[in-house]
Amino acid sequence: MAELKQIHAQIYRTELHLSQDNLASTKLLETVCNLLDSTDIIGYARKLFDQIQTPNTFTWNTLFKAHSKARKNPNFSISSLYKEMLYRGTKPNGITFSFVSKACSDEFFLGLFHAHLLQFGFCCDVYVLNSLIYGYAISGSIDSARKLFDELSYKDLISWTVTINGYVRSNRAKEALDLFFLMREEQVGIDEVTVVAILTACAQLGDLNLGRRLERLVRESGFEFNSYMNNALIDMYAKCGSMSDARKHFDEMVNKNLVSWNSIVSGYARSGDMDTAKRLFQRMPKKNEISWSALLNGYLQNGDFKEALMMFHEMKVQGIIPNDASVAGAIAACAHLGALEMGKEIHVSLDEQKVRSDVVLGTALVDMYVKCGCLEISRELFDGMSKKNLVSYNVMILGLAVHGRASDCFEIFTEMLKARVRPDSVTFVGILSGCVHAGLVEEGKEYFNRMTTIYGIAPRAEHISCMVYLMGRNGNLEEAHEFIKSSPLKPDVIIWGALLSACRVHGNVKLGEYVARQILDLDPDHGGAYVLLSSINAAASRWDEVTKIRKKMKETGVESRPGRSWIELNGKVHEFCAGDSLHPDITDILLMLGLMEFRTA
């Protein structure tokens, strides 16, 4: 800003008043705009512009440049500025169209803008049309981008690459690669941007053989992989499940940068090899919030929620400001552990820092509160979300279902349909679970029928098991058995397990023995089947059978999986496993349990 004041003072010293000298004013405006990389002074640039009596196309373009470089989202101001330019009678040129189409992400406005572009005679300007293809692509209108691409009389490398990248942005990897192979047929050369785009598309598909084929093709084209391309290559192999290939390329890189390290750490974390991921993380010469987030979410994905929270705590101790992915991951870990106090702390810190909760963070908070049993807070947050997606609705429905709030599940489902969010298979798992917990047999049958007939969703094991639980809960064991036999889905351990649980509840030994055999045929080491069958026989006082079952478990080496539990105390999560004595305070805990038992005796 000091530099700006010096420039401004210089103009006044030469007695050139801004309102009287358009050339001097425009030069000053251009200087201001060039400083926008280091200082966000868009408002200052606009004040200078407003003092120019008769701005020409160059002057307008200078202001467009300022808006496109500003750190804040320029979309609205760019489109408004363009409309103002036309209203004041200034004719746009190719540079104007390029700035506006690249910066705007509003599909409707881009359509009107496209018409203006043709009206002003730029129908054959490949530079301008490429900018419009880019605009359509970043607005999510990839089909409009492809239509314009196909209509081009001349396509250069940028035309192809921008369209391919548009498909990648839209997660339409197959179409991106189809267009790339068409590009090769047309013998159009490629550059590093094209290479990164196709490697990213392959990563989205997770096709290892195709990835290797693409690497060979690029190398045969004479490319030497730079760090930008190598990073994409490492990420591609990691996402295709070949950490050996990813590691080979990482180790061969001479100039590894932060992106390289983050890619390899993320790859190992995603593959479940957290030991290697952590070793590499500790070796990193420099870390940023993405590095920490990769490790934290790796622990989360691998079910080590306690370690994930420890990473989040360490991250804050090191003074790293967590990104949205880290915060959402920490909140998810709190949800799984039932660590309500820690979850509340994170929520409060978000409010204090005035972090605007997007749909991801909002959904994570809703999930955390509902899993910790705070239904009212969860519902209040959910209702207050300005934007909800399918995941948001599913989280709320599943959470309410677990707590037996079936009528509320139905209410959210109705709201979801009014918002034109189409339910998926997870939605109906929630609805049917709600029916199970509330014992609503007829309602469950109705929703199951709607799922298959209206929404065309093929039943999965979770849906079938919900229906079996629902029928079995009311004692309709034969109906549940017939439902399994009539289902097009081959019954698995989950489905048979639902019926076996119902047999235990209602003491049906004969059917229970049959179902247990089905489970053990599918999974001979399924300890749960033995335990449930033992319980059924014990309830019927068939102690000889109980002894036989226990003996068989011992002979075959089958063990029932020990229960685990977590408890949060003073911001620290304590983990317990049935039968172990690993907790450092186990002696005091056992003494207290003994004292409690004595006092209640």
Angstrom CA distances, 126 to 6, 114, 133, stand at 41, 13, 10
Read off the pLDDT of each residue in 274-278 and give the average, rounded to a whole number: 94
| Cβ neighbours, 10 Å, residue 304 | 15
* Percentage of the chain modeled with pLDDT above 70: 71
Cβ(236)–Cβ(199) under 8 Å?
yes
Cβ(122)–Cβ(97) under 8 Å?
yes
pLDDT at 561 over 90: no
Q: Which two tokens stand for residue 151?
A: 């209509």
C-alpha–C-alpha distance, residues 264 and 211, integer Å? 17
Give residue 151's pLDDT.
86
pLDDT at 316 over 50: yes
C-alpha–C-alpha distance, residues 494 and 525, integer Å? 14
Q: Which two tokens stand for residue 221?
A: 């084209």
C-alpha–C-alpha distance, residues 398 and 41, integer Å? 47
Q: How far apart are the first and last CA of the chain?
A: 78
Highest mean pLDDT (candidates 45-59, 339-353, 504-518): 339-353
User: The dihedral of CA 493, 497, 503, 509: what is its sign?
Assistant: positive
Going by C-alpha positions, the residue among 467, 463, 539 that lies closest to residue 503 is 539
Q: Which two tokens stand for residue 310?
A: 């420890």
Residue 360: pLDDT band (50, 70, 90) is confident
Q: Which two tokens stand for residue 239?
A: 């996402």
Residue 285: pLDDT band (50, 70, 90) is very high
Give residue 93's pLDDT.
73
pLDDT at 486 over 90: no
pLDDT at 250 over 50: yes
Highest mean pLDDT (candidates 229-238, 542-551, 554-563): 229-238
Give residue 14's pLDDT.
41
C-alpha–C-alpha distance, residues 330 and 306, integer Å? 10
Residue 538: pLDDT band (50, 70, 90) is low
C-alpha–C-alpha distance, residues 119 and 49, integer Å? 27
The answer to which of 21-30, 93-102, 205-214 has the lowest mean pLDDT is 21-30
Model confidence over 568-593: pLDDT tens digits? 555 555 566 555 566 666 666 666 76
* Percentage of the chain modeled with pLDDT above 90: 31
Read off the pLDDT of each residue in 358-377 and give the average, rounded to a whole number: 89
Residue 25: pLDDT band (50, 70, 90) is low
pLDDT at 370 over 70: yes
Give residue 152's pLDDT.
86
Q: Which two tokens stand for residue 533?
A: 């069958």
Give residue 80's pLDDT.
73
pLDDT at 431 over 50: yes
**DSSP states of 376-403:** HHHHHHHHH-S---HHHHHHHHHHHHHT
pLDDT at 217 over 60: yes
Give residue 542's pLDDT.
58
Give residue 570's pLDDT.
53
Run of H or E residues at 566: strand 564-569
Give residue 123's pLDDT.
66
Give residue 38's pLDDT.
46
Look over the chain and give the mean of its residue pLDDT values, rounded to a whole number: 79
What's this model's pTM, rounded to 2 decimal places? 0.66
C-alpha–C-alpha distance, residues 49 and 30, integer Å? 10
Highest mean pLDDT (candidates 369-383, 482-496, 533-547): 369-383
User: The dihedral of CA 351, 354, 360, 362: what is its sign?
Assistant: positive
| Cβ neighbours, 10 Å, residue 274 | 18
pLDDT at 37 over 60: no
Give residue 325's pLDDT.
85
Of residues 600 and 343, more confidently modeled: 343
Half-sphere exposure of 249 (CA within 13 A, CB side): 25
pLDDT at 392 over 90: yes
Q: Which two tokens stand for residue 82?
A: 């363009």
Which 3 state secondary structure label does DSSP give 577? strand
Give residue 196's pLDDT.
92
Residue 556: pLDDT band (50, 70, 90) is low
Highest mean pLDDT (candidates 4-18, 231-245, 486-500): 231-245
pLDDT at 402 over 90: no
